[in-house]
Every structure is written in structure tokens, then in C-alpha cells.
């Protein structure tokens, strides 16, 4: 989705930037990438009606012009996750009055021309601009003309505009042209070309991850995507008297051909439950896998229950996560 910017832009051809013009970007959201927040989508590098990210993977969609950094759920969003200025500059556009509601509820027509939702545009030296979208209604705390420093709070992550999950849509432009901050200067049809313009201090935090686990745990009921995304699943913790014990994993970035396995073992090491998902027939933006069992005894036996999640591709393991829980008395 090419989000309409909050101000008018002149889309002139971008000249070759001199080395001193290249911006250095701090993380535009207060979180820990790979731990408390995750890149859901990258900039689309395919000029056709298909999509590919800068590594020629499927972590994008057609015409996507920014980086989507998501948080796990509504419960975390309610704590107030700050959106931050990625570099020093001057605010040249804002919006702050759109409701926080999924586009699936209000429809595309209701947000036409305002796809960014509540947001801000910052102008930086050297012809660079950054745009911050989908912030919470009333949370934008900057105004046009404000001079910002790197890391200065702009607002809070929300659900406004053309979105169906809580995230920051972050777009970088240089002289009107979209720039992928992971692959500045990449040539057309290259895979892994260009260079990162994220600040060196971020280290490996912004490294490319083909697939990522963003939620996992045990519950006393069979989780749904709605329960996980709202954070309500946390209210269904397992005790020794729970009717069921269910392990769950939510993963993003799965690819066609990936196979998934989720196995649960009891305190004695014996298999309690298992789930095997056949090779996917298409890429999946996100997927929720479950494995569990209903209680058949008076109480769950004391001890630690362990779940192991694996993803294999062409016979090779490409992702693994092991986690456990101890069933406690009611």
C-alpha cells in the first residue's frame, strides 16, 4: 500500500546522493526488535503486481512502501508503545483525529485518502523525509514546525488508517523516492543488495529474519487468533485442575513448502500430544498452531510440561523453539 503522505510532495527523479547526504536512522519505536516487536512487512522491491522483500523473500505485499513494525497484542498496545523520531528534523505534517479501528470493520472507503491514519512527517537534512503511520487517536504530541531530536517521542502505536493489526508503518523517502532502510542503493532485481541505513548502534537488532515466532505459551483452552491478538489468552493459564493443556505458537513469515510440528511432553518425558501441519501451499503472513490434550485424570500430574515447535523446509530444520510450564495448583 502506497500511503498518501500527510502533505503534498514533489516526486522528482532522485539524483545520486552524496555520501554525506545519507541519513542514519534510529529505531522509530520504543521496543526490542525480535523480542517485543517484530518486522511484519518490508518494502516491496518487485515492480510487477507481485511482491518481494529486499532479500527476495515474501515478507512484503504489492506496492508496500514502508517497514511495518508490529507489537504482539492489544494488551501491550494499551501500555502505550512510543513512536520515536528516527533522526533530527522538522515536523511538516500531522494527523491526530482518526479512530483506532480495523479497516476490516470500517472498510476501505471510510479511510480513502487517509490510509496513513494518525501520523506525522518529518523533514531531515539532505532531502530526506520519514513518515510515521497508524498512531493512536489523540496520541500525536508534535505539531507542524516543531524541531525534533533523534529518539524524541512523536506519539503512540495505534490502529488508525488502513491497518488490521497494531503496528508502526515507517516510510523513508529521499527527494520524493521511497527508500528501503534495509537496502539503500539496491539495484533492481537484486537480492540482498544495497546497504542498511539503520544506525550502527542497532547492531543485529534489525537483521533480516525470514520467519519469526511472535507468541507462544500454554493455555487451559484452545487459543484462537482473536484471543492471542487481544492478549486475552493470558487469562486462561494452566493449573493442575484445568480441563485442558494446550501449547500454542504464533509465527510470521512462513513460506510455501514449510512444514510445522508442535509436540508436547509430560513430566515423565512421554508424548502427551502432537500436531503436524503439511507443507504450506502458499506463504502465510501469520499462522497459529496448537497442540494439546483434555484432562483425563483428577488433576494434571505434577511436574514440568515441555513443548517443542519446529519448522522444516526441504528436509532441513529452519526454526525451532522449546518452552515449558509447570502445572500449579488452582
Mean pLDDT rounded to a whole number for the chain: 92
CB atoms within 10 A of CB 210: 18
CB atoms within 10 A of CB 149: 10
Tell me what the mean pLDDT of segment 253-281 comes to: 97
How high is the pLDDT of residue 12? Answer: 32
Question: Is residue 265's pLDDT more than 70?
Answer: yes
Closest CA to 173 of 52, 41, 67: 67
Q: What is the largest CA-CA distance in the chain?
A: 73
Question: Is residue 315's pLDDT more than 50?
Answer: yes
Segment among 2-6, 19-23, 148-152 with least mean pLDDT: 2-6
pLDDT digits (tens, 9 = 90+) for 117-136: 999 999 999 999 999 999 99
Q: Map residue 244 onto helix, strand or coil.
A: strand
How high is the pLDDT of residue 3? Answer: 55
Confidence of residue 2 (pLDDT cuts 50, 70, 90): low
pLDDT digits (tens, 9 = 90+) for 211-246: 999 999 999 999 999 999 999 999 999 999 999 999
Contact 120, 180 (CB under 8 A): no
How high is the pLDDT of residue 20? Answer: 52
How high is the pLDDT of residue 317? Answer: 98
pTM of the predicted structure, to 2 decimals: 0.89
pLDDT digits (tens, 9 = 90+) for 164-202: 999 999 999 999 999 999 999 998 778 888 999 999 999
Q: Measure the CA–CA gap between 81 and 157, rounded to whole angstroms.
A: 6
Instruction: Sketch out the chain's domains with CATH numbers.
Output: 19-206 (2.70.70.10), 212-326 (2.60.40.2550)
pLDDT digits (tens, 9 = 90+) for 22-59: 999 999 999 999 999 999 999 999 988 899 999 999 99
Contact 309, 216 (CB under 8 A): yes
Amino acid at each position: 500500500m502506497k500511503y498518501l503522505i500527510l502533505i503534498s510532495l514533489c516526486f522528482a527523479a532522485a539524483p545520486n546522493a552524496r555520501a554525506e547526504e545519507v541519513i542514519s536512522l534510529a529505531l522509530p519505536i520504543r521496543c526490542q526488535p525480535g523480542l517485543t516487536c517484530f518486522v511484519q512487512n518490508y518494502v516491496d522491491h518487485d515492480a510487477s503486481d507481485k511482491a518481494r522483500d529486499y532479500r527476495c523473500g515474501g515478507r512484503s505485499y504489492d506496492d508496500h512502501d514502508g517497514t511495518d513494525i508490529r507489537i504482539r497484542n492489544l494488551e501491550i498496545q494499551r501500555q502505550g508503545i512510543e513512536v520515536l523520531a528516527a533522526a533530527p528534523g522538522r515536523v511538516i505534517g500531522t494527523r491526530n483525529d482518526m479512530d483506532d479501528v480495523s479497516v476490516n470493520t470500517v472498510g476501505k472507503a471510510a479511510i480513502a485518502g487517509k490510509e496513513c491514519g494518525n501520523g506525522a512527517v518529518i523533514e531531515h537534512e539532505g532531502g530526506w523525509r520519514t513518515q510515521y503511520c497508524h498512531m493512536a487517536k489523540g496520541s500525536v504530541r508534535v505539531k507542524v514546525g516543531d524541531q525534533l531530536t533523534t529518539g524524541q517521542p512523536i506519539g503512540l502505536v495505534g490502529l488508525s488508517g488502513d491497518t488490521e493489526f497494531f503496528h508502526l508503518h515507517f516510510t523513508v523517502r529521499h527527494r520524493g523516492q521511497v527508500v528501503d532502510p534495509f537496502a539503500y542503493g539496491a539495484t533492481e532485481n537484486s537480492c540482498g543488495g544495497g546497504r542498511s541505513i539503520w544506525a550502527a548502534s542497532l547492531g543485529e537488532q534489525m537483521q533480516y529474519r525470514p520467519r519469526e515466532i511472535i507468541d507462544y505459551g500454554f493455555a487451559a483452552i484452545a487459543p484462537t487468533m482473536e484471543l492471542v491478538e487481544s492478549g486475552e489468552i493470558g487469562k486462561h493459564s494452566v493449573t493442575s485442575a484445568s480441563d485442558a493443556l494446550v501449547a500454542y505458537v504464533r509465527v510470521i513469515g512462513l513460506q510455501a513448502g514449510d512444514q510445522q510440528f508442535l509436540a508436547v511432553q509430560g513430566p515423565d518425558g512421554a508424548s502427551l500430544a502432537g500436531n503436524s501441519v503439511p507443507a504450506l501451499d502458499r506463504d502465510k503472513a501469520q499462522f497459529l498452531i496448537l497442540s494439546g490434550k483434555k484432562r483425563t485424570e483428577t488433576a494434571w500430574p505434577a511436574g514440568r510440561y515441555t513443548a517443542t515447535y519446529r519448522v522444516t523446509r526441504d528436509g532441513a530444520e529452519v526454526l525451532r523453539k522449546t518452552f515449558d510450564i509447570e502445572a500449579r495448583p488452582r
